[in-house]
Amino acid sequence: MSEQATNPMREAIESAIAENEVILFMKGVPEQPACGFSARTVSILNSVNTPFAAVNILPDPRIRQELSAISGWPTIPQLFVGGELVGGCDIVTEMYEAGELQQLLGVDVPPATVEESTVESAAPLKIENRL
């Protein structure tokens, strides 16, 4: 048997990606991101009211190693939608600003309306603004 076929960490990551429509691999947890890029990505997902699963990559370095091997993407956070890698914070931000992320997630709110409505709710955006 090959090492890949018997790698429980890789299998667990692949299973999590397959079982969750939207999943974010991040530093920290959504309630307490451990880096600005993870905080920004969480903020964007929260601002479009998208439920998502999250995996904290910090407790075990093998998570990051195996995730990057699966996705071919070296940085964290990594957002997956429908089993496919969307990208990291910069790509998610660009897609959000262009309205492409909302379309991918099936959110009917245009980008301008989302930004206007989330400015006053501020909980996720306050985290972003303090970084």
Domain count, the chain: 1
DSSP 8-state class, residue 28 = E
pLDDT digits (tens, 9 = 90+) for 51-95: 999 999 999 999 999 999 999 999 999 999 999 999 999 999 999
Residue carrying the six token digits 């370095």: 61
Q: What is the CATH number of the domain that holds 44?
A: 3.40.30.10
Range of 58's domain?
Answer: 4-130
* Per-residue DSSP letter, 106: T
Res 109: pLDDT: 60
Distance (Å, rounded) from C-alpha 80 to C-alpha 16? 10
Residue 117 has pLDDT above 90, yes or no: no
Which tens digits make up the pLDDT trace of 92-102? 999 999 999 99
